[in-house]
């Protein structure tokens, strides 16, 4: 049986985002060279920030799910941090495209639609091995505009799913209360 977080679509998206962000930074931000007419310089701070934002998105989902049994409030807070981290990453990819005079593709663009379909296949439970690792790995496109737009698409999908996960956790908390409330009820029942 896999850890609970591995079953979450938000986690599987965030894992792909993290892995591809590391590769993106290595490939498009870490080397001296040219990209179009713009001379590229290593952007160590940007690289660190992007990799940490991607990691934070993934790790806060893990930690939030880990707290879900004992602290709904903690779970909601950590899922919010995960969403904020991925939103930070969205602005980094938008900045990357804008600063290089590349295009942010609209959601209706055919390649974006293809990215969304591919992401659904890659993140399906059927693509998980017995160890919870993806059997089929996502690949980062070779050109920077396509790669950044793929990652933007994945980030937007992840933040949408996280907003739904947070709303569900909030609804559960309102309807059933938290861990402390449950313990208090049990304590009152034990006294009777």
Torsion of CA 140, 98, 154, 121, to 10 degrees: -50
What pLDDT does residue 34 have?
47
Give pLDDT, residue 40: 53
N-terminal to C-terminal alpha carbon distance within the chain: 39
- pLDDT at residue 38 is higher than 70: no
Residue 190 pLDDT > 50: yes
Provide the mean pLDDT of the chain.
Answer: 88
- Check if the beta carbon of residue 84 is closer than 8 Å to that of residue 76: no
| Alpha carbon distances (Å) from 5 to 79, 85, 132, 171 | 12, 18, 10, 19
**25: which residues sit within 8 A by CB, 6+ positions away?**
46, 47, 50, 51
pLDDT, position 68: 79
- Say how many domains are in the chain: 1
Q: So what's the pLDDT on residue 44? A: 84
> What's the pLDDT tens digit per position in 21-37?
999 999 999 764 445 54
pLDDT score of 153 more than 90: yes
Residue 93's domain comprises 4-191
Quote the pLDDT of residue 110. Answer: 94
Indicate the Cα dihedral angle 5, 65, 86, 109, nearest 10°: 50
* Tens digits of residue pLDDT in 112-143: 999 999 998 888 888 788 777 778 888 999 99
Confidence bin at 188 (pLDDT 50/70/90): low
User: Which contiguous run of DSSP H or E holds residue 8?
Assistant: none
Q: Assess whether pLDDT exceeds 80 at residue 54.
A: yes
- 71/185: higher pLDDT: 71
CA distances from 190 to 68, 70, 183, 184, 187 (A): 25, 20, 10, 10, 5
Residues 6+ apart with CB under 8 A from 87: 155, 159
Chain centre to alpha carbon of residue 141:
19
Q: What is the pLDDT of residue 24?
A: 97
Distance CA 166, CA 173 (A): 10
Alpha carbon 130 to chain centroid distance?
Answer: 22
Percent with pLDDT over 70 in the chain: 88
């Amino acid at each position: 049986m896999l850890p609970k977080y591995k079953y979450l679509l938000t986690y599987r998206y965030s894992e792909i985002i993290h892995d591809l962000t590391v590769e993106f930074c290595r490939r498009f931000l870490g080397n001296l060279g040219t990209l179009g007419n713009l001379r590229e310089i290593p952007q160590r701070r940007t690289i660190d920030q992007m990799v940490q934002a991607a990691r934070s998105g993934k790790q806060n989902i893990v930690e939030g799910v880990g707290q879900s049994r004992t602290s709904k409030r903690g779970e909601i807070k950590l899922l919010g941090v995960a969403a904020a981290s991925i939103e930070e990453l969205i602005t980094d990819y938008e900045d990357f495209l804008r600063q290089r005079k590349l295009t942010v593709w609209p959601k209706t663009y055919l390649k974006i639609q293809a990215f969304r379909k591919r992401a659904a296949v890659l993140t399906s439970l059927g693509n998980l091995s017995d160890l919870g690792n993806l059997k089929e790995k996502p690949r980062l496109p070779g050109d920077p505009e396509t790669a950044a737009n793929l990652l933007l698409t994945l980030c937007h999908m992840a933040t949408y799913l996280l907003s739904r996960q947070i709303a569900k956790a909030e609804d559960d908390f309102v309807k059933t209360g938290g861990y402390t409330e449950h313990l208090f009820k049990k304590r009152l029942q034990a006294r009777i």
